[in-house]
Chains A and B, each alone.
Chain A
């Protein structure tokens, strides 16, 4: 099986390791013989703002930006961001959401409110019923380092793409510094295991 077209939108909050995750996904797709384009919109912030990364995999890719309504996999590291980027998802696309809230400051200041999981799911259901909340942050904490969240999330979607496991493992070991490689390998395996538990 080969990929005809796979548009993956990885979203979350600055500091969650989104850019690294999309870089690895891009390298994996190249190693598997595809054309890849990826682009990030980071805006102004070093930390704390919305981060969006578009990864497009196909035999030939033109625009690096995914067209609104075309996303095959929405990989959200944060719940509010999942809701915000719903219009990008295609009908019946897949939404994988880290069950974790990072409330914007306006929520703390009392000028806005954070959506409940139900509200996030209701927004997503305008596009798809394939909505999966996973306890990524909690699992990463259990592994011993919250920063492994990005690799754990990648592990989760790795089983959905027809790309050999060895390519993933190879790219991760090439990208990660030796000191933190072991914990990230375990995070990847954990994520992959989580996804096989549900019938995606």
Chain B
């Protein structure tokens, strides 16, 4: 049966058909849909784990117990999970275990750009990489077989363009019967005391040699002969761009990118006049081939930064003389520099807007920052942000985050700034899902070190940015079943925070009062700002409207950064199709003239 599937859907379906019993993940673009898809099968166990490290540990536990497990995450998720991952590489597995790492070349939705192929070499484990959805579906099943055959976790690399592209898949398998769990104690294998770990080390090297031999005949490492003038080594999505630019060339396409098939590479290199590598991000394949003493080029003309595409590859090839310059240049289009950008925003009715409006107006922040978000002086309030929708509050007009690095880091940053002795008050802002992911340990540290900071938890009861996944605080499992919810208020009180306030996200007076009193408190304080994500709230009431006679166009309402509030030709008005109505009313509460009110329902219907 032919289906149009995204890479992520194909990975999920392929893993399901390969007899996976346990699937774990923490949401992260571009990997999220893998677990979202596979969790729809009720005959497997799937969970949104607290974070990627836990996901890896649960997956490894399931593999130790003898069943097949799949753990999926975005590239930076593997940084979080790297500790148990490195251990898995040395203990090996029992049931097959595959870790899907979805990289984000071009940084579409991440805090960094990293090439996780390097993790395969680092951990000495095999890595497979599909170049479309069909291969994603086929290769994931092979990954499980390899895992069991060589007693190793297998890394499966995707990238944004593989995960988020749909292509035709011949879904030609049925579900393989899952393995029955059976754990037989084997201390020298599973208990990594130094003595046992030393015993495992040579086995890891042996395994890698066996895998390298296997790679020589791996059917997805494939030579496709064309003209012998140019030979191209490629893999993953880069292969598609390369193939489109060089339809006549010979190709060595690699489906297993670690360890590499030396004989096959030599055989290919010897039979072409010129050898190049076309790969996205790091010169991973190129350096390996160079280390074999083979003359090869690639990153001399293919960019190592950002996502590739056909045009980039084509221009690089033309620039270096691999392709003739076209006789006639296409006329270029010049876009006027004034064309407005459209940065993503907090949604109209977002429960983060109220607290962010309050923070943006405190400590002279708005006045100190220039158009680029820089200031020459320390503001009276420093806000350490975190990873989630609320990071969009960095864009004008709110301009709230002073730092944003990785999941859960803002609390540590806030404590570090305070201990460094900055003159400003210091705040950490973090979402509920991110707090549970890795904010808790930072909060425990803040209690222990008696940090005088304020932690603001923006609790919208979901993992919003990645598309509303459940988490330990929501009380619903990944497969939609009711479960126990972790109570954030009890949690922070339990670790010893005495100043804990819970505030309604849309009550501006209460938000301002809470922010003021908590930030003024010299001791550690926590504010939980509670309000459901507006995308999940289906209820809409009559929109707000601005009374043109009362409005003096002061523009305060525009400073919320609400997409529904617009201005043209000196008129400020509310787009009735975007305003969410009574669940928000932030603009009504802050208007100094009282010019904004809810439209009568009858009028709104017109």
The bracket for how many chain B residues form the interface is: 35 or more
A144 at the interface (CB under 8 A from B): no
Residue from the list B29, B310, B338, B566 in contact with A63, Cβ < 8 A: B310
* Listed residue (A64, A87, A104, A110) with the most chain B CB atoms within 10 angstroms of its CB: A64
Q: In the complex, A80→B341 CA distance in Å?
A: 9
Cβ distance B176 to chain A, nearest Cβ, rounded Å? 27
* Listed residue (B161, B237, B563) with the most chain A CB atoms within 10 angstroms of its CB: B563
Residue from the list B165, B309, B343, B572 in contact with A67, Cβ < 8 A: B309
Name the CB-closest residue of B to A40.
B164
A86 at the interface (CB under 8 A from B): yes
Does B344 lie within 8 Å of A43, measured CB to CB? Answer: yes
Q: In the complex, A80→B165 CA distance in Å?
A: 25
Cβ distance A57 to chain B, nearest Cβ, rounded Å? 11
Q: In the complex, A50→B342 CA distance in Å?
A: 6
| Given known contacts A61-B167, A91-B330, A103-B568, A146 and B577 CB-to-CB distance under 8 angstroms | yes
Please encode chain B, from 132 to 146, with 1 for each CB lying within 8 Å of some chain A CB and 0 for all others: 100000000000000
Interface residues of A in 1-59 (CB under 8 A from B): 13-14, 23, 26-27, 30, 35-50
B535 at the interface (CB under 8 A from A): yes
Interface residues of B in 554-601 (CB under 8 A from A): 558, 561, 563, 565-568, 572, 577
Does A44 lie within 8 Å of B240, measured CB to CB? Answer: no
A107 at the interface (CB under 8 A from B): yes
A181 at the interface (CB under 8 A from B): no
**Chain B contact surface mostly:** loop
Does A84 lie within 8 Å of B335, measured CB to CB? Answer: yes
Chain B residues with CB below 8 A from A49, complex form: 342-345
Please encode chain A, from 71 to 100, with 1 for each CB lying within 8 Å of some chain B CB and 0 for all others: 000000000110110110101000000000
Q: In the complex, A30→B568 CA distance in Å?
A: 44
Does A83 lie within 8 Å of B335, measured CB to CB? Answer: yes
Does A109 lie within 8 Å of B577, measured CB to CB? Answer: no
On chain A, the number of residues with a Cβ less than 8 Å from chain B's Cβ atoms is 56
Does B568 lie within 8 Å of A46, measured CB to CB? Answer: no
B511 at the interface (CB under 8 A from A): no
Chain A residues with CB below 8 A from B335, complex form: 83-84, 86-87, 123
Cβ distance A11 to chain B, nearest Cβ, rounded Å? 11
Chain A residues with CB below 8 A from B314, complex form: 67
Chain A residues with CB below 8 A from B371, complex form: 111
Chain B residues with CB below 8 A from A83, complex form: 335, 339
Please encode chain B, from 388 to 412, with 1 for each CB lying within 8 Å of some chain A CB and 0 for all others: 0101100011000000000000000
Q: In the complex, A90→B565 CA distance in Å?
A: 36
A65 at the interface (CB under 8 A from B): yes
A182 at the interface (CB under 8 A from B): no
A192 at the interface (CB under 8 A from B): no
Name the CB-closest residue of B to A22.
B166
Q: In the complex, A104→B568 CA distance in Å?
A: 12
Does A63 lie within 8 Å of B240, measured CB to CB? Answer: yes
Name the CB-closest residue of B to A108.
B567
Name the CB-closest residue of B to A14.
B344
Q: In the complex, A112→B347 CA distance in Å?
A: 20
Interface residues of B in 209-265 (CB under 8 A from A): 237, 240-241, 243-244
A198 at the interface (CB under 8 A from B): no
Q: In the complex, A86→B334 CA distance in Å?
A: 9
Name the CB-closest residue of B to A141.
B577
A200 at the interface (CB under 8 A from B): no
Chain B residues with CB below 8 A from A105, complex form: 345, 396-397, 561, 563
Q: In the complex, A48→B397 CA distance in Å?
A: 15
Name the CB-closest residue of A to B239.
A62
Q: In the complex, A187→B166 CA distance in Å?
A: 26
Does B109 lie within 8 Å of A123, measured CB to CB? Answer: no
Name the CB-closest residue of A to B242.
A62
Cβ distance B315 to chain A, nearest Cβ, rounded Å? 10
Cβ distance B193 to chain A, nearest Cβ, rounded Å? 45
Cβ distance A168 to chain B, nearest Cβ, rounded Å? 15
Does B567 lie within 8 Å of A104, measured CB to CB? Answer: no
| Given known contacts A64-B165, A126-B331, A126-B334, A46 and B342 CB-to-CB distance under 8 angstroms | no
Please encode chain B, from 164 to 195, with 1 for each CB lying within 8 Å of some chain A CB and 0 for all others: 11111000000000000000000000000000
B421 at the interface (CB under 8 A from A): no
A199 at the interface (CB under 8 A from B): no
Residue from the list B109, B342, B347, B389 in contact with A13, Cβ < 8 A: B342
Cβ distance B251 to chain A, nearest Cβ, rounded Å? 12
Name the CB-closest residue of B to A112.
B340
* Listed residue (A38, A65, A84, A91) with the most chain B CB atoms within 10 angstroms of its CB: A65
| Given known contacts A39-B166, A63-B241, A48 and B340 CB-to-CB distance under 8 angstroms | no
A132 at the interface (CB under 8 A from B): no
Residue from the list A41, A47, A68, A112 in contact with B345, Cβ < 8 A: A47
A118 at the interface (CB under 8 A from B): no
Residue from the list B243, B333, B340, B344 in contact with A44, Cβ < 8 A: B344
| Given known contacts A67-B311, A108-B558, A80 and B166 CB-to-CB distance under 8 angstroms | no
Can you list 13 residue pairs at the A/B interface with Cβ under 8 Å?
A: A37-B132, A42-B164, A43-B109, A44-B109, A47-B563, A80-B339, A80-B340, A83-B339, A103-B568, A104-B343, A107-B340, A109-B396, A112-B338
Known: A63-B244, A146-B577. 7 other contacts (CB 8 A): A27-B4, A41-B108, A49-B343, A65-B309, A67-B310, A87-B335, A106-B341
